[in-house]
Structure 1
Amino acid sequence: MKQLALGLALAAMATGTTAAEMGAVDQPIKLAINEWTGQHVTTHVAGEMLKAAGYKVEYVTAGMMNQFQALADGDLDATLEIWSSNVSDEYAKKIGEGTVVEIGDLGLDAKEGIAYPAHVAELCPGLPAWEALKACAGAFATAETLPMGRLVDYPADWGTPGADRMTGLALPFKAVPAGSEGALITELRAATEKKSPLLITFWQPHWAMSAYDVKFVDLPEGNEACFTDPAWGPNPNAVNDCDFAPSRIFKAAWSGFAEKWPAAYEILTAYQLSVEDQQPMMGAIDVDGGKVEDVVAKWMSANEGKWRPVVEAATK
């Protein structure tokens, strides 16, 4: 454990995390809480690291797509799990204005895509090839979508990536936004228990990927040309006729953060969380019914060597 702690401390210093002034320790650092469990875990681990350094922390509920104005205004101080695949245009605008600053990657190995529980391959022969969905869309139809198949998309305020793929690839599916992450899980659970058809927009890391044996549809490789040039890809008349771009997960802060809380800024910049650490905590919350605070506290206690060196490198 001592060797691991030393290694992490050296790694932190190698990435530029060195002892800094504490700054306004009397004022709370406001961290954004978005709409999915993994983000809650990510944010609470970061918050507990800041508390261990001597800071006050507030967790503030904020919509993923509309949080950036609050960051720019200083009403939020940091957001810790931004997915590049469905970040809003407002983010780029605020970065360009200099009112929001990016503070590095989180370190999660992520993927998003169009997915289905494994048993669905028996109901739609040819999966995981995306072309198979053309012939068996009717198997996914509901009263709401007839004669088209039904795709359960992300909640509306997460964007419309699933709908974009259905349009881009000219697939006969209607995208129906889920009400929440919980609603997506309910769909997966019900389809698995009933062995019924389900096509869904989903992502990893997520405990449900293994719990419900979720597979991704093989879509044409996603790249920048696909999203800007209709001539690229299998549909010459549309963009988005491809898979999601490889997802980058990163962190951002209010532009005044580093000046107000220098050591906290270094902690959040150096902060990393792996899939292997995040995913079991998500399962402990969503499957086992644990509270975020309790699950994170247990992980912090059992894994001090993974986070304490980062705190100490910024504060000592």
Structure 2
Amino acid sequence: MKSTALGVAFACMAGIAGAAEMGAVDEPIKLAVNEWTGQHVSTHIAGEMLKAAGYKVEYVTAGYMNMYQAMADGEIHGAMEIWSSNVSDEYAKQVEAGGVAELGDLGLDAKEGIAYPAHVAEMCPGLPAWEALKDCAQNFATAETLPAGRLVDYPADWGTPGADRMTGLELPFKAVPAGSEGALIAELRASTDKKSPLLITFWQPHWAMSAYDVQFVDLPVGEAACFEDPAWGPNPNAVNDCDFAPTRIFKAGWSGMADKWPAATEILTNYQLSVEDQQPLMGKVDVDGMSVEEVVAAWMAENEATWKPVVDAATN
């Protein structure tokens, strides 16, 4: 959908509720900044929208898996990019307790999975079928993982989804957590440059999907039963013997925000961002070396028709 059309859609959606009270404009709204570039982009666009409405905004570095107690306590007021496939149990606990409230979908079309740069298919005949990994694991082995193959998993504080699938599908791979998103990209870059084997846990939207021709392994469909019933799927003795669950990306905030900053809550609830908008901005940061702030400032200037109707509907 074109940016202008998106703006009109947001305006109509936001306009249903009408303008809201601004609330405590003298106190900063604190938005969580997590560990990956796409989240920085999503968060800074939201923050700039709030600033345009007349609010003060602070960006607070927060661990993705453990920020929900701070949110429930009102120390963090919003998180703009939460992935349903690897959100911690703490999130549901705090929502149930009433300290955290969901703010709706962000709008990104997302997928997570076990992946590899396209050239790796030559080293493991049968890919993208997951069964092929049983016979070629030794091609991915390192001194750290011998005799198993090496899977570069998400950073440790993002959870262990790659390791869970190696166990569930009984694949002879050892999952090694990456240190950061940057470390995952470094692995993809090195593998592509050297034409070396690499199996990695990865996701889209991400600029690296196209830059390194990243392909997903075809795993059994991630149905709910896979994560609850060991008898479901190819391994009758384990859960997680399937692909990631379909991923939903959503926003959440401190439950007291709607009373303290009504218009801001309306803006964040109606704020959406498309893959087509986010992915190039990620590339400008991670590939071109621009700062998140300058990339977002340029996008805001060029896409006023996308975001301004959301702000106007909440404040005018």
User: 3-state DSSP class of the match of 1:119?
Assistant: helix
Counterpart for residue 275 of structure 1: 275
Residue 169 of structure 1 pairs with residue 149 of structure 2: no
Contact between 2:14 and 2:266, CA under 8 Å: does it hold in 1? no
Contact between 1:18 and 1:266, CA under 8 Å: does it hold in 2? no
Alpha-carbon distance in structure 2 between the residues aligned to 1:17 and 1:306: 19
* CA-CA distance at 1:184 after TM superposition: 0.1
Alpha-carbon distance in structure 2 between the residues aligned to 1:307 and 1:165: 39
CA offsets, 1:154-208, max 9 Å, x none?
A: 0000000000000000000000000000000000000000000000000000000
Residues 270 and 8 (structure 1), Cα distance of their counterparts in 2 relative to 1, 3 Å cut = closer
Contact between 2:4 and 2:306, CA under 8 Å: does it hold in 1? no
Alpha-carbon distance in structure 2 between the residues aligned to 1:56 and 1:250: 23
Counterpart for residue 31 of structure 2: 31
> Normalising by the residue count of structure 2, what TM-score does the alignment of the two structures yield?
0.98
Counterpart for residue 54 of structure 1: 54
Letter of the structure 1 residue corresponding to residue 233 of structure 2: G
Counterpart for residue 120 of structure 1: 120
User: 3-state DSSP class of the match of 2:64?
Assistant: coil
* CA-CA distance at 1:38 after TM superposition: 0.1
> What pairs with 1:163-242 in structure 2 (closer than 5 Å)?
163-242=163-242
* CA-CA distance at 1:12 after TM superposition: 2.8
Counterpart for residue 300 of structure 1: 300
User: 3-state DSSP class of the match of 1:247?
Assistant: coil
CA offsets, 1:121-170, max 9 Å, x none?
A: 00000000000000000000000000000000000000000000000000
Counterpart for residue 87 of structure 1: 87
Alpha-carbon distance in structure 1 between the residues aligned to 2:134 and 2:3: 56
* CA-CA distance at 1:9 after TM superposition: 1.5
User: 3-state DSSP class of the match of 1:289?
Assistant: coil
Alpha-carbon distance in structure 2 between the residues aligned to 1:286 and 1:279: 11
CA offsets, 1:286-312, max 9 Å, x none?
A: 000000000000000000000000000
* CA-CA distance at 1:223 after TM superposition: 1.1
Alpha-carbon distance in structure 1 between the residues aligned to 2:206 and 2:4: 30
User: 3-state DSSP class of the match of 1:276?
Assistant: helix
Alpha-carbon distance in structure 2 between the residues aligned to 1:39 and 1:187: 20
* CA-CA distance at 1:8 after TM superposition: 3.8
How much identity, in percent, do the aligned residues show? 78
User: 3-state DSSP class of the match of 1:9?
Assistant: helix
Alpha-carbon distance in structure 1 between the residues aligned to 2:153 and 2:69: 25
Counterpart for residue 9 of structure 1: 11
Residues 50 and 121 (structure 1), Cα distance of their counterparts in 2 relative to 1, 3 Å cut = same
Letter of the structure 2 residue corresponding to residue 100 of structure 1: V
Counterpart for residue 310 of structure 2: 310
Contact between 1:207 and 1:279, CA under 8 Å: does it hold in 2? yes
Alpha-carbon distance in structure 1 between the residues aligned to 2:255 and 2:56: 19
Stretches of structure 1 lacking an aligned partner (at least 5 in a row): none
* CA-CA distance at 1:3 after TM superposition: 7.0
* CA-CA distance at 1:11 after TM superposition: 3.3
User: 3-state DSSP class of the match of 1:104?
Assistant: strand
Counterpart for residue 243 of structure 2: 243
Moved more, 1-10 or 253-262: 1-10
Residues 85 and 206 (structure 1), Cα distance of their counterparts in 2 relative to 1, 3 Å cut = same
Letter of the structure 2 residue corresponding to residue 162 of structure 1: G
Contact between 1:17 and 1:270, CA under 8 Å: does it hold in 2? no
Residues 2 and 293 (structure 1), Cα distance of their counterparts in 2 relative to 1, 3 Å cut = closer
Counterpart for residue 41 of structure 1: 41
Residues 194 and 6 (structure 1), Cα distance of their counterparts in 2 relative to 1, 3 Å cut = closer
Residues 276 and 17 (structure 1), Cα distance of their counterparts in 2 relative to 1, 3 Å cut = farther
Which consecutive aligned stretches of 4+ in structure 1 deviate over 3 angstroms post-superposition?
1-8
* CA-CA distance at 1:18 after TM superposition: 2.1
Stretches of structure 2 lacking an aligned partner (at least 5 in a row): none
Alpha-carbon distance in structure 1 between the residues aligned to 2:79 and 2:125: 42
Alpha-carbon distance in structure 1 between the residues aligned to 2:40 and 2:122: 35
Contact between 2:3 and 2:303, CA under 8 Å: does it hold in 1? no
Letter of the structure 2 residue corresponding to residue 84 of structure 1: S
> Normalising by the residue count of structure 1, what TM-score does the alignment of the two structures yield?
0.98
Contact between 1:17 and 1:310, CA under 8 Å: does it hold in 2? no
Residues 106 and 224 (structure 1), Cα distance of their counterparts in 2 relative to 1, 3 Å cut = same
